[in-house]
Structures are given as structure tokens and as C-alpha cells.
Amino acid sequence: MVPVKKFALTLGAGLAALALPALAQAQVTKIKSNPAAFILDAADVKAGTDMIFVSGQLPSPIDPAKPMSEIKSIDDYGDSKVQTISVLGKIKKILEGRGYAMGDVVKMTLFIAADPKLGKIDFAGVNEGFKQFFGTAENPSTTARSAFQVANLVGPNFLIEIEAIAAKKE
């Protein structure tokens, strides 16, 4: 007869050993049915995968030395392309600080405000900004993505806010 304490330890070790193969198989599968598409159809993130959720990021002023009290217009932040590049640069820095890369991004949500100079959102400019970070030699992959036109963002000079989810093997 096996003492209860010894049985529990043996059972626990056995269960842990069974869990190890599952952890080793943790994976992220990026699903893209159209090779020419700029975004994914989906991203399948299996259990045991490390994930990071990046809060919505806003662009930085073009001139970081300019005092906030002197920033008065959208021109201080740039057009939709410039603002998108700024935001994605911030997201890249956050991810790299935690051991992730832009290639680990599986989902992004974009909130886009109309450019007052155009009277509408500049979706083409946003996509041009994305092309600096996705589908490049450094990062040939892309991400699942949703985009929403919003009436306003937190400040009148912001044209885009982006949040991101990244996932990678442990």
C-alpha cells in the first residue's frame, strides 16, 4: 500500500510531466488565405503561449524637444502616415523592452479620427505607415487587425490610437 502523501507527490510529478509536452508545443499560427492581403484572416494562439497586451498608444510630437505648452496643431504631430509610424514605433519599443518583436504581434485595433485637412480619415496614409513595420525585410509577417473611425481621440491633434496584442512561444 502506498502512503497517501507519497501517492500525492508521485501523482503530482506525473501530471507535471504530462503538462511539459503541451508547454513545449505552445505556438502561434498566423492564418492568411490571400497571400496578397495586407492583414491576416486570424491568429491562432495555443495555450501555454506568452502574451502581452499593449494599451492604446498615441503619437509623439514630431519635435520631441518642443514643450507641450507650444504644441497647438496637428502639424506638430504630422499627418496620418507620420502619426501611425510614431505610434508603431512606440509599440515596437514597448514590445522589445519585454522581449517581443513586431513579428510577434497577432492583433491590432486601430482607432482613426478624421484629418480636418481632408474632412475624412486617411486610411491610405495609415496603411503606408503600417508598411514601415509589416511586410518588410525585418518583419515579413503581418497581423490580424480591426480599424474603427472615431469622432475624436483624447486630444484634438491625434489622428490615430493603436492597441496591440503580441504572442510568442514561452
Backbone angles phi, psi at 7, to 5 degrees: -65, -45
- Give the model's pLDDT for residue 58: 96
Per the domain annotation, does 58 fall within a domain?
Answer: yes
Taking alpha carbons only, the member of 46, 45, 55 closest to residue 95 is: 55
Per the domain annotation, does 8 fall within a domain?
Answer: no
In the chain, the number of structural domains is 1
- Match 525585410 to its residue by C-alpha cell: 137
Contacts of 106 (CB under 8 A, 6+ apart): 28, 30, 40, 43, 45, 143, 144, 165, 166, 167
**DSSP structural state of residue 76:** G
Per the domain annotation, does 7 fall within a domain?
Answer: no
CATH (domain of 150): 3.30.1330.40
Per the domain annotation, does 13 fall within a domain?
Answer: no
| Domain span holding position 92 | 26-168
- Give the model's pLDDT for residue 68: 81
- Give the model's pLDDT for residue 45: 93
Positive or negative, the CA dihedral 137, 141, 142, 143 is negative
- Give the model's pLDDT for residue 79: 97
- Give the model's pLDDT for residue 72: 87
DSSP-assigned beta bridge partners for residue 145: 108
- pLDDT tens string, the chain, 170 residues long: the values are 555 454 444 444 444 444 434 334 458 999 999 988 889 999 999 998 999 999 999 999 999 898 888 888 999 999 999 999 999 999 999 999 999 999 999 999 999 999 999 999 999 999 999 999 999 999 999 999 999 999 999 988 999 999 999 999 87
